[in-house]
Chains A and B, each alone.
Chain A
Amino acid sequence: MTVVNATSLQQALEALHDHPGARLVQGGTDLMVEVNFNRTTLHDVVALRRVNELKRWHIAEDSQTIRLGAGIPYAEMERSPLCHHLPALAQAARTVGSPQIRAAGSLGGNLGTCSPAGDGLPVLSALDATVHLQSLDASRDLSIHEFMLGVKKNARQPNEVIVAVTLPVLNGFQGYAKVGTRNAMVISAASVCVVHDALGGTIRVALGAVAPTVVRTREAEAWLASQTNLAAPLTVTPELAREFGRRAAAECSPIDDHRSTASYRRHAIAVLVERLLLRANDHGKSPR
């Protein structure tokens, strides 16, 4: 077994090249659970925790996009200034595990594990994120929708490191909500991200933990766009929001398990989509 504690991206990529099939570890909040429960046997490991390039973020010169290193811990996303640029991501980050987990866990880990209950993934989906992958001799960009393939399955090649994601800087409402049977530190039974692109005139909705992978509700989104003008300011009626929630929930395919039931999950999705759309509608308006 070889463990490479990389201190630069170049070193990590070389190690991955030298040890094909090595497991990547960033915060270790998923991998070490697998190891401790004897569900995986580690051979070679490339640790990314000390790779500072993966912990940086910046806003593009044109102010249109923001690029987040894949190793930025959730704790940083919760805080200023990142929380102002990406409010839904900040809200999602706050729901991840405990403070200790949030200090270690990262979007790179969420993407690498690719669980449908990954808390950051609905936000990436709703924002149509671009995932940046790099190997020793190549780099490529994938849409988040092409990256996530199924339950714990993604498009990363064994020799690639997930280095960053790029997200649009938008002007409208961004919100996230998650249901679990406890008021904190709980795995999602259902989660929703709603993004309003005021300039583009779209409402984008992504659902977590209710299908083999994160669901974008494109039919419901198109239906909503046909019903009302989504360019700011929104004028969504409660009836419209309710119907939108119902339609979004129709696009998921939840299961019964020990955490919840399929019928409750579908119901929760409808409620959360409705509520988040109404929050989007209230966004920026003075309270009545």
Chain B
Amino acid sequence: MTTKTSTQRRGALGSSALRPDGIPKVQGRFAFSSDAWADSMLWGATLRSPHPHARIVSIDVSGALAINGVSAVITAKDVPGQLTYGLIASDQPVFASEMVRYAGEPVAAVAADHPETARRALDAIRVDYEVLPPLVDAEDAISGSFPAIHPDGNVIRRQRIIRGDQSFVGDVVVEGYYDVGMQDQAFLGLEAALALPDDAGGGVELFVATQWLHEDQKQIAACLDLPIEKVRLTLGGVGGAFGGREDISLQVHCCLLALTTGRPIKMQYGREESFFGHIHRHPARIFMRHHADWDGTLRRVEARVVLDGGAYASTSSAVLINAVTHMQGPYKCEMATVDGYAVRSNNPPCGAMRGFGVVQACFAHESQMDKLAAACGLDPVDIRLKNAMRTGDRLITGQVMDSVAPVERCIRETAAIPLPEPLPADPDPLLIPGGAGLTARRGNITRGIGWGVSIKNLMYSEGFDDYATARCRLANGVATLQFATAEVGQGFVVLAQQIARTVLGVDTVLLEPISTAIGSAGSTSASRQTWMSGGAVDGACRLVRERLFEHVAATHHVDPLRLVIDGTDVVDSMGTLRVTVTEASKDLTFDETFEHHHRATEELDENGQGNCHVAFAFVAHRAVVDVDTELGLVKVVQVATAQDVGRVLNPLAALGQVEGGIAQGLGLAVMEEIVLENGRMRNPSFTDYLLPTALDAPEVVVSMIEEPEPQAPLGAKGIGEPPCISVTPAIVAAIRQATGKELPRVPVRPHDIVFG
């Protein structure tokens, strides 16, 4: 990796300031939401449908209620408010009442004095189901050959993009079908919450691991039929999210049990239940056709994109928009014909996951770019450089690319990273394909190199104002920050402290609990919190600094405009005055709140035209893999990457995002998949849902491309999603080079390599 020695003040922006939650996490002292505890609390548990599609004939809870220690059993008829919830469309029942639409759908919940009592209570609930054939093929949803499985119909959204000459045929035409399997977020900290009923019973307080407190609050209050201020949320310690905590899981159940029993309720999922309790990455089938001139200049893309959204809408419509609007990749392309569907099925619901639709698009367009390179007799690097998008280019939506767009530089800097050493004659067997299985020797292994480059939108799109709020107080040289930004592991807590130290010249920055006691911060999603909540914290700190300068100016009879922060002092830039921030704020409190809004965006029209995205970030990946071609086993040796980050605010945190994203993209490339059989999950465990281990993780060599983004409050782009997007096609391209196989599907399984 490359790191820069910081000349910054300790703990300020640009330094690898230590996270306030870092040492407690390493020492096991950090309280995750599953550690929450209250005196006299009861344990909640959820009964789930074993069938992917069935009619509920009857539910008999009397057996459960008869068990000693069971305090409540609730079903759909106990939901006081709205019976459904959802991030975009409110189409998902709190509890299934008439129909179950996926295997694992909640049907009832219990509260009991012990988890084991709760489990027995679930066993004692009798549900009669009339089992129906499940809709599991997305094409059946599109064709209308299957009856509607939901009142909202089987197509969640269709969106076309029509731009330019619709009959254009290039000198060179390449095409293919590409499939992406269902990936899971697989966050390590499982779903957990503690709900405390108000003394009066008219409200509830919820400690929960989530990505967006205020959105949860809104949906919970609607289902509980409570005024929004009667539902107060505080963030429990979150152990990863990756999109899997955007949707409601146990929140409403937990609150409703607390209100029903008048007792604190703790709910937590185990690993298996977690697979059923949250949404997944959309499986996709994409057809793409690229048209280019003889010299490889990309002219037109055609695509048909089908995303299987599973039983409920979740964020499917937004995921679809991301997929279809990113089909051109980070390349200039004037003509497009894209048809996209997000459909409903009786498979598990799918929604947000790191990369949000662009992962699927990128696997297709990058596979296509390699085909195009081969057809034009070009190198994979040359064809990408030739077509690299620049600031000022127009996207297939008609939107002008006005973000910093260093695509060419990402590619060139990645290419400049040295390749790894060739495999030695007698390599460490643990470090070659097969690893600990000792399946291969040097002679069984072929090396391959592959490329992937991506474009990813930042923030929410299509007219959504996902603003962020922050409050800053300065007193006696100590800054206190308050925000509702969900810290899910990404490190916003340290970034906020760095911003305050830099803007205000303080060393000590305290953080208030992350809760709905302040305005919304928007979701910790879409690579947006550094930009949005970072902008809000920066704005609040700057307002406080203005107040501080006004006070110092008045006290010392100087023009406040001459004052600056130098280290931990307020300094007159044109005079001799120098006073410490601590002294200047002695016995005073400056208290300011700031909302940061990004610029407005538009909805797409029926032809997919419109300025629907806020901003974009880019990244290039080059993967080197060793493949045991005879057994189809892969070891990713090295991933080189140059990422367009705008500005590095915390080098260690940035590196963590890049390395983690690459591991997650590697997972999708070669092992991570929820295997479904007729709507049922076959591998809801970490025994069989395989995540990369240390022996699977590659060497990662990073070049951070720092071209500050003028639109971004701190010059920094979001960096969370890009690392996991184009690394997947890069790895697959490298396997293709090593094996000569077409490999149109991820994850690439050993039998795909052997028999593909």
Contacts and interface: CB of A to CB of B under 8 A. Distances in A.
A177 B429 CA distance: 11
B682 A182 contact: no
Contacts, number: 95
Contact of A177 (B439, B670, B682): B439
Contact of B750 (A95, A175, A179): A179
B437 A95 contact: yes
B434 A185 contact: no
A275 B429 CA distance: 14
A181 interface: yes
B632 interface: yes
Contacts of A37: 272
Given A258-B683, A271-B630, A275-B444, A182 B692 contact: yes
A272 B630 CA distance: 10
B671 A181 contact: yes
B50 to A, nearest CB: 14
Contacts of A186: 437, 690
Nearest to B438: A177
Contact of B437 (A38, A177, A257, A258): A177
B751 A260 contact: yes
A183 B683 contact: no
A264 B755 contact: yes
A257 B682 CA distance: 9
A178 B751 CA distance: 15
A2 interface: no
A56 B122 CA distance: 45
A258 B439 contact: no
A175 B692 CA distance: 26
Interface in B703-756: 749-751, 754-755
A9 B751 CA distance: 47
B439 A179 contact: yes
A208 to B, nearest CB: 11
A184 B435 contact: yes
B439 A184 contact: no
Contact of A181 (B270, B677, B749): B749
A177 B631 CA distance: 12
A84 interface: no
B87 interface: no
B751 A179 contact: no
B302 interface: no
A182 B749 CA distance: 10
Interface string B61-76: 0000000000000000
A258 B441 CA distance: 28
B524 to A, nearest CB: 29
Contacts of A183: 430, 433-437, 633, 635, 693, 695-696
A179 B631 contact: yes
A173 interface: no
A263 interface: yes
B119 interface: yes
A94 interface: yes
A186 B633 CA distance: 13
Chain A contact-residue range equals 20 to 34
Contacts of A175: 438
B755 A263 contact: yes
A176 B754 contact: no
Interface in B578-634: 630-633
Contacts of A261: 751
A259 B685 CA distance: 12
Nearest to A186: B690
Contacts of B749: 181, 260
B693 A184 contact: yes
Contacts of B688: 187, 258-259
Contacts of A187: 687-688
Contacts of B119: 38
B690 A264 contact: no
Contacts of B695: 183-184
Contacts of B433: 183
Nearest to B753: A264
A204 to B, nearest CB: 18
A168 B434 CA distance: 29
Contacts of B682: 257-258
Contacts of A275: 439-441, 444
A256 B272 CA distance: 22
B481 to A, nearest CB: 39
A135 interface: no
Given A176-B438, A258-B688, A275-B444, A182 B751 contact: no
B76 to A, nearest CB: 25
A210 interface: no
A180 B670 CA distance: 12
Contacts of A191: 437
Interface in A173-230: 175-187, 189, 191
A178 B439 contact: yes
A98 B305 CA distance: 40
A186 B690 CA distance: 8
Nearest to B670: A181
B417 interface: no
> Which of B441, B670, B696, B751 has the most CB atoms of chain A within a 10 A radius of its CB?
B751
Interface in B406-465: 430, 433-441, 444
Contacts of B376: none
Interface in B23-77: none
Interface string A210-253: 00000000000000000000000000000000000000000000
A144 to B, nearest CB: 22
Contacts of B692: 182
Interface in A73-106: 91, 94-95
> Which of A177, A181, A183, A185 has the most CB atoms of chain B within a 10 A radius of its CB?
A183
Given A263-B751, A275-B444, A178 B683 contact: no
A20 B632 CA distance: 48
13 contacts: A37-B272, A94-B436, A95-B437, A177-B437, A178-B438, A181-B690, A185-B436, A260-B749, A260-B751, A263-B751, A264-B751, A268-B750, A279-B441
10 closest Cβ contacts across the A-B interface?
A: A183-B435, A258-B682, A264-B751, A178-B437, A183-B695, A184-B695, A258-B675, A184-B436, A182-B690, A177-B439
Given A187-B687, A263-B751, 9 more contacts: A37-B272, A179-B434, A179-B439, A181-B749, A182-B692, A189-B750, A258-B682, A275-B439, A275-B444
